[in-house]
Structure 1
Amino acid sequence: LPSMAPAAELMAVGQEYLLAVVPLWAQICQQFQHEVAARRQRGEAMDNAGAAMDLWNNILDRTLMEFNRSTDFANLQQRFLRAAMRQRLEVRKMAEQTAQAVDLPTRTELDDVYRRLHDLTREVHGLRRELRALRQTGGDTRAVIKSDKGS
């Protein structure tokens, strides 16, 4: 049976990320409200939604970029990516086991078939190039083909 540990780890790291981001969104909202109030006090009107969106986006970009440059975010992102890859490998393992149980080709088997098909396609293209080159140089392709069959 597949292990639930990678899924639990992924959920735990996701919750840690939310714990770090939720206060950040509250901070963004507070900064936006503070800036709107400061502009009103200065007598600057924000009459249209476009101006409000520009202000919101500027505050959002500035705050999120600060967070994205932090070591906290880097550590969380690194842990999240590793947990996601472990979970993906566990799901792949489970899918392989399920496919084998019901006599379906597994991902590994299909990858092998596709790799062989790719190699054979490249070989055919190479042989066609050789054949074209022989024809252009006036070589006797029948002799080449017969000598290949004999070997």
Structure 2
Amino acid sequence: MQQSEVWQLYAKGLQKLSQLWLEPLWESVESLSRQPTGDLSAWIELLTPSTLENVLQSPKLGYSREFTHQLFQGIDAWINLQRASIDYQLVLLDVWANAFEKLLLTLATSEENHQTLHQWQQLLQLWSSIFDREFAQKFAYEDTLQIRGKFLSASMANKLRQQQLMEILLKLNDLPTRNEVDEIHRSIYDLRKELKSLKKQLECNK
């Protein structure tokens, strides 16, 4: 795969991820977009592949340098996830293939012994038990567990890189980051607890 194709795939994935975080923010500041100088659509363009490429070519200063560094690390994490995902999917495909083969053999044997299944629930239960057994046997091997572990580790690493990149994008556009929003929620929660405690004290002093 060409480097440009890898970049386009990663940029598309990042754009989809950003929608989960940016859409609620967009709704909260939608009124500002109606003002003459409040058009916020420009910062959305930062998430397009062409704009991201321009950012990479800009001078590496401040947030730009941090963004470029995190972006390259994010691409590496995404590539590692794709590789680990392929290896893990091949393992699961092998489990499904073996389970399906044994299901057909079991059904053929049951037919010969005049033990035909008459309800779809019976077929589903048989299929589930065979798959569970095949899955347990497959993941009893150390090499298979390592493949699964690499996939989970790569998935968490990619998620972390995406979050770090989104933090920088939000800071670049003077929007609250997830950590800042979480801190606000914690402060509100603490204030509510303190207010509730003060109300109880006032009631006791009456």
> Shared fold (TM-score greater than 0.5)?
yes
Counterpart mapping for 1:107-146 below 5 A: 107-135=178-206
Does 1:42 pair with 2:90?
no
Does 1:17 pair with 2:88?
yes
- Which 5+ residue runs of structure 1 have no aligned equivalent? 136-151
Counterpart mapping for 1:2-151 below 5 A: 2=71, 3=73, 4-135=75-206
RCO comparison, higher one (Cα < 8 Å, 6+): 1
The structural deviation recorded for 1:52 is: 2.8
Letter of the 1:43 counterpart: H
Inter-partner Cα distance in structure 2 for 1:121 and 1:73: 49
Quote the RMSD (CA, aligned, Å).
2.1
TM-score, normalized by length of structure 2?
0.58
Inter-partner Cα distance in structure 2 for 1:77 and 1:103: 39
- Which 5+ residue runs of structure 2 have no aligned equivalent? 1-67
* % same residue: 23
Instruction: Provide the secondary structure at the position in 2 that maps to 1:125.
Output: helix
Cα deviations across residues 22-75 of structure 1 (Å, max 9, x unaligned)? Answer: 111111111111111212222333344343333222212222233355544543
Q: Which moved more, 1:34-43 or 1:17-26?
A: 34-43
User: Could you say which structure has the larger radius of gyration?
Assistant: 1
Structure 1 segments, 4+ long, off by >4 Å, are none
Q: 2:85·2:151 contact (CA, 8 Å) conserved in 1?
A: yes
Letter of the 1:102 counterpart: N
Inter-partner Cα distance in structure 2 for 1:58 and 1:82: 29
Change (3 A) 1:45 1:107: closer
Structure-2 residue corresponding to 1:147: none
Inter-partner Cα distance in structure 2 for 1:47 and 1:121: 60
The structural deviation recorded for 1:17 is: 0.6
Change (3 A) 1:118 1:26: same
Inter-partner Cα distance in structure 2 for 1:47 and 1:131: 71
Instruction: Provide the secondary structure at the position in 2 that maps to 1:45.
Output: coil
Aligned residues: 135
